[in-house]
């Protein structure tokens, strides 16, 4: 009996062990996954909600298990907008073969515990916020075939222990901060096919052992600090398809038979190095070659490269400046697939050969910034696919050929800085897709052709500094798409300024200075409500400044100097809050100079050369006025507004009474039209009452697309802001729809909250639309950064300022809002118009991003910019804040918002607008801050912050902490506002960095809790 019992017990024990091995131990996998879940701090798509014990963990989102053992073999959560840290408990998933966490916002270091995953084959953690060094013990995962750690913040070297990973097929560590040399043991990765170390800090020479990688077909080591030559052994890798070593410090020559060694070459990029000699002629045998970027003395014969579509040799020192420099184009023209040819920014001389007209597939051709002379060859009209043609800053002469009008796909044309002798061809009117036209400083003569008015997609027009004569055609001033700028300055234009200028309601900058224009300034200029800069100086204008200028609420620079203007200086200039530069010098103005608003700053206003002016602040050094300003004298702006409001109210009452009489007879109730959507719940009548008949006293501001009023809802006496678009402007209707669509689909504590909307008709049966927002009692960030409030004393104005902590908090609020828009929404949103006036502050000084009139939904928001797609038409943003790539016709992207944020951040801590007058030529806010960083930070800081750091009310520790944090914040702003999108920080990284700065600020143990509280409440 005892022996039978013993055998039976042993059998049960054996089956228990087998059961444990076959799945009885999978509870450890569930525990590990739940521990991983606890490290997730943000899950906007809610996928972690599906991870609960009511469902077997093998059914959880992103989890796959082996059918036999029910153990986790795959964890794939890529591109889910997750934030948090990577849990060390992942190391307990002992059956895991695939770990994909890429395209998220995981931070902290890579857990060394991943080295316990002995079955792991694929590790892809790229495009996150991971920091620290690469754990050496990942080398214990001997089955790894793919490691992708690119686009993080990793530092240190490639671990020596990685020499044991002999099964690797892909190794990608691009876009990190890794240092050291390229390890020689890479040559032992006999199965390696893809190797990328692009954009790191690797130095030293390339190891000869790379030539042992017989299966390698892709190698990219761009933008490092590599020296020496390309090892000759590397040229033995006959399967090479992509070979990229640009922007290093490599030397030597390329082998003459390079094309024969790499018969499958698709892309060769070795530009930006120090190679010498000739480009291998054998490349003409590379029938697969599509992209060629190279920079050495001679150019290749590429007539046999039938697949070549990209040829870039720009920004080098090629050419001698002599007559035969461009002969190679005769050969290149036989590459019939060529779509991009960039030879700009070199030293090429000579005439442009007629062979250039054979590039019938070209879409982009940049010849600018060379020394090319002679006339533009006949036959240019053959290039019917051209979308971008840059020929500026050369020495072209003769006429611009009429046949240029045959290039009807052109979107950007640059002919500036040449020596043309003829007129602007009337055929330019055929270029209906044109968005950018640069022809300044080109010695052009004759009149501006009215046919230019047919270019109804133009965003900017620059004809500055030519010899143009005649009147300004009214057709040119009737292009509603002009939004960036129009510059006709420094010509010989005559006649009056056409009233059609009022059509340009969205124009940002208008410059007609230094001409011979005469007559009165047209009052229709007041319709150009988006104007930020207006230059009319050095003409013969006469009469008064139009009263309609009161509508130019966004105006920052106004120059009316050296004209023949008369009358009084209008009082309404005091109410233009954004006005930073006002030049009225050398006219015949008379009377009292105001003392409020912009007139309080003598460095911002010039009134010299007006002998009949008096009063003003002492710095103007004017005579005292010998008359008294009484109630019978000049009316103040407030009185004028009251009179105007009263008149409007009386007229409204009369019209309303007549209308009601008519309705009563017809027995028709004058109610708004039926709502088109459930979000439109507010009636016109309610909003009319809430805003006191849309009275001027409740007017908060006027923008490019409409007006904003303060109101009190009758239902609950809630204070609101009512945005009423000007529906006469077709873009205002689009803006209204865009804003409705965005705000109906998003919700975040740092976004302005849309309460309701109205879509119907007013009492005259005109279409009426409005958006109703929560009212922000502290106004916009613009008003706090640049306070110009008429009627307040200097003591009060100085108190309306932001300390360092408040600015940092608001900066974090804005980045959180952007992070949510870019990564937290199911469909990413690009704001497109981030600036201080679109950031509103509530009663607790919390920042809220608003104004989504230009916002875009992106099913697949991307930071990649493509030259063959353009969606900027109609997307302008605001001058100074708009990403530079938008000006080149690139599609909008999340990185464009990051650029705007970087400029805003620098403005917040420097106190300088990006349009400040000190920024000329190549100097802008980014380069200005970068040049002073970090040694001269104090010189570029807002004086209010300097006073805070140097003040006597805070402890030494607090001052030191603030000083260190200021440097860190500016570093973020400089990184975000980099010219190239690829160099900018990701917005999730920005938020994390600013949060860390804030935490560091209050981490000091020497700083008392009382002082922290005082700072936070100040």
The residues annotated with a catalytic role in the active site are 833
Closest among 178, 188, 177, 224 to 205, alpha carbons compared: 224
721-736: b (≥16 Cβ within 10 Å) or e = bbbbbbeebebbbebb
Instruction: Kindly report the backbone phi and psi dihedral angles of residue 35, in degrees, each rounded to the nearest multiple of 5, phi listed first.
Output: -65, -40
Token pair listed for 4: 């039978």
Phi-psi label, residue 398: left if phi above 0, alpha if psi -120 to 50, beta otherwise: left
Under DSSP, the state recorded for 366 is E
User: Which three-class secondary structure state does DSSP give residue 364?
Assistant: strand
463 Cβ neighbours under 8 A, 6+ residues apart: 424, 439, 440, 444, 448, 487, 488, 491
Output the CA torsion 692→695→699→705 (10° steps): 100
Mark 304-320 as b/e (b = at least 16 C-beta within 10 Å). ebeebbbbbbbebebbe
Evaluate the CA torsion angle 465, 466, 467, 473 in order and state its sign. Answer: negative
Please count the other Cβ atoms lying within 10 Å of the Cβ belonging to residue 714: 11
> Beta 469-470 vs 533-535: how paired, if at all?
unpaired
Which of 604, 623, 559 has its CA nearest to residue 585? 559
| Element of type H or E holding 650 | helix 637-666
How do 83-85 and 40-42 pair as beta strands? Answer: antiparallel
| 819 Cβ neighbours under 8 A, 6+ residues apart | 987, 988, 990, 991
Tokens of 106: 């995981």
Q: What are phi and psi of 212, to 5 degrees?
A: -85, -10
- Return the half-sphere exposure (C-beta side, CA atoms, 13 A cut-off) of residue 328: 17
707: which strand partners?
A: 702, 724
Q: End-to-end alpha-carbon separation of the chain, Å?
A: 87
Strand partners, 751: 849
β-partners of residue 72 are 65
Q: Which residues of 842-871 are buried (b: 16+ CB within 10 A; e: fewer)?
A: eeeeebbbbbbbbbbebeebeeebebeebe
For 424, phi then psi, to 5°, come to: -80, 120
CA distance 212 to 237: 8
Using H for helix, E for strand and C for coil, what is the string for 766-789?
Answer: CEEEEEEEECCCCCEHHHHHCCCC
Which DSSP category does 204 fall into?
A: E
For residue 754, give the nearest of 673, 823, 680 by alpha carbon.
680
CA distance 283 to 290: 11
CB 200 within 8 A of CB 177: yes
Q: Residue 146: count other Cβ atoms within 10 Å of its Cβ.
A: 19
How far is it, in rounded angstroms, from Cα 549 to Cα 551?
5
């Amino acid at each position: 009996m005892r022996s039978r019992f013993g055998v039976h017990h042993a059998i049960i024990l054996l089956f228990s062990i087998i059961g444990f091995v076959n799945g009885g131990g999978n509870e450890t996998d569930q525990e590990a996954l739940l521990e991983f879940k606890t490290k997730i701090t943000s899950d906007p798509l809610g996928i972690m909600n599906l991870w609960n014990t009511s469902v077997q963990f093998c059914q959880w989102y992103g989890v796959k298990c082996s059918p036999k053992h029910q153990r986790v073999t795959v964890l794939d959560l890529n591109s889910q907008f997750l934030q948090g840290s990577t849990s060390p408990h992942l190391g307990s998933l002992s059956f895991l073969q695939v770990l994909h966490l890429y395209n998220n916002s995981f931070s902290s270091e890579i857990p060394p515990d991943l080295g316990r995953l002995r079955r792991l084959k694929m590790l892809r953690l790229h495009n996150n916020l991971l920091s620290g060094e690469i754990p050496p013990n990942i080398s214990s995962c001997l089955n790894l075939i793919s490691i992708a750690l690119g686009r993080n913040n990793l530092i240190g070297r490639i671990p020596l222990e990685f020499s044991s990973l002999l099964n690797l097929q892909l190794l990608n560590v691009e876009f990190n901060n890794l240092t050291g040399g390229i390890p020689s043991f890479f040559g032992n990765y006999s199965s390696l096919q893809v190797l990328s170390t692009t954009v790191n800090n690797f130095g030293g020479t390339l190891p000869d052992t790379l030539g042992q990688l017989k299966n390698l077909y892709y190698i990219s080591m761009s933008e490092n600090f590599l020296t020496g030559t390309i090892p000759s052994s590397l040229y033995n890798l006959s399967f090479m398809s992509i070979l990229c070593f640009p922007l290093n410090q490599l030397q030597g020559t390329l082998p003459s038979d390079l094309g024969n060694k790499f018969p499958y070459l698709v892309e060769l990029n070795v530009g930006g190095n120090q190679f010498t000699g000739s480009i291998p002629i054998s490349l003409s045998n590379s029938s697969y070659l599509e992209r060629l970027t190279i920079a050495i003395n001679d150019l290749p014969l590429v007539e046999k490269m039938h697949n070549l579509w990209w040829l870039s040799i720009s920004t080098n020192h090629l050419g001698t400046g002599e007559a035969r420099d461009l002969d190679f184009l005769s050969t290149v023209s036989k590459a019939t697939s060529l779509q991009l040819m960039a030879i700009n920014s070199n030293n090429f001389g000579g005439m442009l050969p007629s062979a250039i007209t054979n590039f019938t597939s070209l879409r982009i051709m940049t010849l600018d910034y060379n020394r090319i002379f002679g006339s533009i060859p006949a036959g240019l009209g053959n290039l019917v696919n051209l979308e971008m043609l840059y020929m500026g800053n050369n020495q072209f002469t003769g006429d611009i050929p009429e046949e240029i009008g045959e290039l009807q796909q052109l979107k950007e044309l640059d002919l500036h800085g040449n020596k043309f002798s003829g007129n602007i061809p009337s055929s330019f009117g055929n270029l209906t897709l044109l968005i950018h036209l640069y022809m300044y400083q080109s010695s052009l003569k004759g009149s501006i052709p009215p046919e230019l008015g047919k270019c109804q997609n133009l965003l900017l027009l620059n004809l500055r500094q030519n010899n143009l004569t005649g009147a300004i055609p009214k057709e040119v001033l009737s292009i509603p798409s002009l939004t960036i700028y129009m510059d006709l300055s420094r010509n010989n234009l005559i006649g009056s300024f056409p009233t059609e200028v009022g059509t340009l309601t969205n124009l940002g900058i208008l410059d007609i200075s230094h001409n011979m224009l005469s007559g009165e300034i047209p009052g229709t200029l007041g319709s150009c409500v988006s104007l930020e800069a207006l230059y009319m100086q050095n003409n013969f204008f006469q009469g008064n400044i139009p009263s309609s200028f009161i509508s130019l609420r966004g105006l920052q620079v106004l120059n009316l100097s050296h004209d023949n203007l008369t009358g009084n200086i209008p009082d309404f200039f005091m109410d233009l809050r954004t006005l930073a530069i006002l030049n009225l010098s050398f006219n015949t103005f008379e009377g009292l100079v105001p003392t409020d608003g912009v007139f309080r700053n003598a460095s911002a206003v010039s009134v010299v050369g007006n002998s009949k002016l008096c009063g003003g602040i002492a710095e103007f050094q004017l005579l005292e006025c010998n008359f008294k300003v009484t109630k019978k004298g000049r009316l103040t702006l407030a009185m004028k507004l009251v009179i105007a409001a009263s008149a409007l109210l009386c007229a409204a009452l009369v019209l309303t009474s007549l209308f009601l009489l008519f309705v009563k007879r017809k027995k028709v109730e004058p109610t708004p039209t039926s709502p088109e959507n459930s979000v439109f719940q507010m009636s016109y009548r309610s909003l009319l009452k809430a805003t006191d008949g849309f009275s001027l006293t409740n007017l908060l501001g006027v923008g490019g697309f409409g007006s904003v009023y303060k109101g009190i809802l009758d239902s609950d006496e809630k204070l609101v802001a009512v945005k009423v678009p000007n529906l006469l402007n077709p873009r205002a209707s689009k803006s209204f729809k865009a804003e409705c669509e965005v705000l109906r689909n998003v919700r975040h504590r740092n976004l302005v909250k849309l309460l309701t909307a109205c879509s119907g008709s007013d009492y005259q049966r005109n279409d009426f639309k409005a958006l109703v927002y929560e009212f922000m009692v502290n106004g916009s960030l613009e008003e706090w950064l640049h306070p110009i409030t008429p009627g307040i004393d200097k003591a009060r104005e100085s108190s309306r300022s932001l300390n360092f902590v408040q600015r940092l908090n608001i900066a974090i609020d804005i980045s959180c809002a952007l992070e949510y828009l870019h990564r937290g929404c199911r469909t990413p949103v690009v704001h497109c118009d981030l600036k201080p006036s679109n950031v509103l502050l509530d009663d607790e000084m919390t920042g809220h991003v608003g104004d989504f009139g230009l916002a875009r939904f992106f099913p697949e928001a991307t930071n990649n910019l493509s030259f063959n797609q353009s969606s900027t038409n109609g997307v302008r943003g605001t001058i100074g804040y708009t990403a530079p790539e938008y000006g080149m016709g690139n599609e909008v992207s999340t990185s464009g918002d990051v650029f705007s944020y970087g400029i805003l951040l620098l403005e917040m801590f420097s106190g300088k607008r990006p349009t400040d007058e000190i920024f000329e030529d190549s100097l802008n806010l980014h380069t200005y801050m970068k040049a002073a960083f970090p040694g001269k930070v104090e010189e570029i800081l807002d004086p209010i912050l300097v006073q805070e750091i140097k003040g006597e009310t805070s402890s030494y520790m607090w001052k030191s902490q603030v000083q260190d944090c200021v440097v860190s914040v500016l570093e973020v702003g400089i990184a975000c506002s980099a010219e190239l999108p690829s160099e900018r920080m990701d917005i999730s990284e920005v938020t994390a960095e600013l949060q860390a700065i804030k935490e560091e600020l209050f981490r000091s143990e020497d700083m008392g809790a009382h002082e922290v509280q005082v700072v936070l409440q100040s």
